[in-house]
Amino acid sequence: MKKIQTILFSQVAAATVASTAYAQEVMTLDQKVNEVFATVTGPFVNLIFAPFPGTTFPWIVLWLVVAASIFTLYFGFVQFRFFGHAIKLVKGDYSDPNDAGEVSHFQALATALSGTVGLGNIAGVAVAVGIGGPGATFWMILAGLLGMASKFTECTLGVKYRNEYPDGTVSGGPMYYMSKGFDELGLPGGKILAIVFSIFCILGALGGGNMFQANQAHAQISGIVGDYPGWITGVVFAVIVFAVIVGGIKSIANVTEKVVPFMGVLYVGAALIILIVNYDKIGWAFGQIFEGAFTGLGIAGGFVGALIQGFKRAAFSNEAGVGSAAIAHSAVRTNEPITEGFVSLLEPLIDTVVICTMTALVITISGQLIMDPATGQFVLNEAGNAIATVGDNSGVALTSAAFGSSISWFPYVLAVAVVLFAFSTMISWSYYGLKAWTYLFGEGKMQELSFKTIFCIFIIIGAAASLGPVIDFSDAAIFAMAVVNIFALYFLMKLVKKELKSYSARLASGEIKKFKH
């Protein structure tokens, strides 16, 4: 018996030593990958997120906000004029079931929303409010409202220039309207822009739309159930995601049309409960938002700090101008491209104006941001670069603490929301990456299966590893998509205006009819 125990003990000890060595090897591998990747990609990342000289304002944010402002003026504030019509389209009032396409207006909107509504709405808003104060919320809302016009422009073009195949499937997005739209206008370089956009889209899909989501979901789950290997979370997510995406856009849309409303209601409902519990502070919170937007209320960076953080958060959250959503919206059933433009403008409204604002309000009224009772101004942390918070929390931890301050078990609801947000983002970005992949390598079952397999392998890697520079690079790739996309939109927006004039005239004359369902 002792001999058996000795053998077992020696085996356990050997296994322990081996696992420790393996863990050290993995850590060393992580570190090596980080070092090499940071060295190679650092200049590209720094270029995309570089601030204007003498400021902390990233030029890419201004690129997005200026484009949104130009589209808003060029199309005569289309996001407000056709808001009611957009609601009717989502309800299916004008949907002809015989139109070409694969999904309904509502399913296309849900799929695109599932790609943008995510951790940025939870952690990103907390960072913005923590640095820029509640006033950042005002600028976030403004940028969200302007971004509605960018979504309208790119998604109209996405449907107009999509490829429709005999089996009823479609492929669309910026790579198609760049190549076909530029050809139609007799402009050179469209195909080159399309290839560059596709490369950035694949990189962004594998990183920010995949690895980062899996990594953060594992962090949330392990924070509740205790620490365990990340690859377990990765494998579970990979199996579920593969089961969804293997069926194509129809399968993805069937899932997102159920998950997105559920997670949206869950998160907004939780926020509303906290606001109702603290109803006496709501007026004060809005006062902080409006006053802080123009005075800064003594926070780091003052008024400019609030403006930068608000614009940055909106741009990073709703992805208006990035071009990703145009890929999802291109699959809609319609013979009127402009109708999906109207539907898509609801996206920044829901993502930024509603969900991000809810997060900001909860953080503001929760008392997690420390104020000086004598002056009524926020107290800065020791570094002087952000507002001091209870427990020194920031990011998702600050949002979690804000939710938990009113009802103790709300952080668990938040954890469920984070996991759902991560899952829905992954399945949407798998479709974006797939369409960029098939644009480069051709349509076909083998091409599709190869990308879907690669995508799911990267889920496991993302959950198991801590590849910081890889994520930074993929984020930069996503915003590099915006550089290429908006450049193309400036040349193509006159085609959208032509569509808008035609549709508006036919809608006013009664030629565009409703359908009974």
Residue 455 has which token pair? 């995508």
Position 464 scores a pLDDT of: 80
Position 33 scores a pLDDT of: 61
Position 509 scores a pLDDT of: 85
Name the one residue in this structure whose structure tokens are 């309800």: 91
Residue 26 has which token pair? 């993995």
| pTM, to two decimals | 0.84
Position 119 scores a pLDDT of: 67
- Per DSSP, the chain holds a count of helices (H) and strands (E) of 23, 4
For helices 410-441 and 248-277, the axis angle rounded to 10 degrees is: 150
Report helix, strand or coil for 378: strand
Identity at 250, one-letter amino acid code: K
DSSP string, 58-118: BHHHHHHHHHHHHHHHHTTSHHHHTHHHHHHHHHTTT--TTSSSSB-HHHHHHHHHHHHSS
Position 299 scores a pLDDT of: 56
Position 3 scores a pLDDT of: 43
CB–CB of 359/353 below 8 Å?
no
Dist CA 439 CA 373 (whole Å): 59
Identity at 196, one-letter amino acid code: V
Q: Are strands 377-378 and 371-372 parallel, antiparallel or unpaired?
A: antiparallel
Give kind and range of the element (H or E) at residue 272.
Answer: helix 248-277
Computed over its alpha carbons, how large is the radius of gyration of the chain? 24
Closest by Cα among 395, 406, 378, 389 to 280:
406
Position 19 scores a pLDDT of: 42
Name the one residue in this structure whose structure tokens are 């869950």: 266
Position 6 scores a pLDDT of: 45
Position 71 scores a pLDDT of: 96
Position 18 scores a pLDDT of: 45
pLDDT along the chain (517 residues), means of 10: 42 44 49 69 83 80 90 94 89 73 77 73 78 84 91 94 84 93 93 95 87 81 80 88 80 77 82 88 88 67 69 77 89 87 90 86 87 76 75 80 81 80 86 92 88 90 74 80 95 95 88 71
Position 453 scores a pLDDT of: 92
Dist CA 38 CA 27 (whole Å): 16
Position 303 scores a pLDDT of: 62
Give kind and range of the element (H or E) at residue 190.
Answer: helix 190-206
- pLDDT tens for each residue of 457-479: 988 888 887 666 766 777 788 88
Distances (CA, A) of 334 to 183, 499, 505: 23, 14, 18
